Amino acid sequence: RADGTIDVVTKPHASPPRASPEPGLMAASRPALVVVDVQNDFLPGGALGVPDGNAVVPVINALREAIDFDAVVLTQDWHPEGHVSFKSASADGTWPDHCVANTQGARLASALNVASSDYIIRKGTDVQVDAYSGFGPPMPHPPTELEELLRAHNSDVVVVVGLALDYCVRATALDAHALGFTVYVVSDAVRPVTPAGGDDAKLDLVDAGVKLVTSQRLMAAL
């Protein structure tokens, strides 16, 4: 890839997107779930631990049980050593070293339920470019794997959960909305790095037209 920033790994058992049931009939669109960066380094005790970050895991597992998602995409922050976002590596760096590719800290939280049909998208893989959004570095850019995957599944509705609300969840949800998807962010399935950042993110999301809902309400609605 020219920018080297995003890699998609589709699992060998991933089922192909379903075709429309009948030509000319709109396929019934089932929602997609995007689980953002639920990785060890973002859990309490991790390199960039998000307060109470563990609390999102059982909620995400329950959402998967209750809702028949057409596609589940797990994003992973996946940085090379010396990444531009690291304070240790760059004057512009804002973060401690975190989610270094192939380390324990970059692995998905072990309590998170994962299926063989899930997709994994890795971001921030270019040493010189950071990417908070699962759609890649700040738009505009050509359609990325995440967008193509969601479109291939005919999912108009995208549910976004994970860590951290004020960074990667926010950026991913705003991009999804800008791309025309109906976007839900599940308030009890996200946690912010800071409370103020979380409040700002919620205001920005609602302003943009993203729907902020509890898992209870979403499970009743979908």
Residue 77 is a binding residue for Zn ion (CB under 5 A): yes
Q: How far is the CB of 190 from ligand VGL (least distance, A)?
A: 10
Cβ contacts of 194 within 8 Å, gap of 6 or more: 166
User: Cis peptide before 55, with omega less than 30 degrees from 0?
Assistant: no
Selection from Zn ion, ligand VGL, none that 37 binds (CB < 5 to 8 A by kind) is ligand VGL
Selection from ligand VGL, Zn ion, none that 78 binds (CB < 5 to 8 A by kind) is none
Burial class (CB in 10 A: 0-12, 13-18, 19+), 220: exposed
Q: Which residues pair with 133 in a beta bridge?
A: 136
Active-site positions?
37, 123, 168
Of 60-68, 71-79, 144-152, 208-216: span binding Zn ion (CB under 5 A): 71-79
Q: Which of 147, 172, 143, 144 is nearest to 6 (CA)?
A: 144
Comparison of 17 and 96: residue with beta carbon closer to ligand VGL? 96
Q: How far is the CB of 33 from Zn ion (least distance, A)?
A: 21
| Distances 23 to 19, 26, 30, 200 between C-alpha atoms, Å | 9, 8, 18, 44
The mark string for 13-52 relative to Zn ion (x by CB under 5 A, - otherwise) is ----------------------------------------
Q: How far is the CB of 137 from Zn ion (least distance, A)?
A: 12
Cβ contacts of 112 within 8 Å, gap of 6 or more: 35, 38, 57, 60, 61, 74
Interacting residue ranges for ligand VGL, rule: CB under 6 A: 37, 42, 48, 77, 85, 95, 163-164, 167-168
The Cα 105–Cα 20 span in angstroms is: 40
Of 69-77, 148-156, 178-186, 197-205: span binding Zn ion (CB under 5 A): 69-77
**Which residues of this chain interact with Zn ion, rule CB under 5 A?**
77
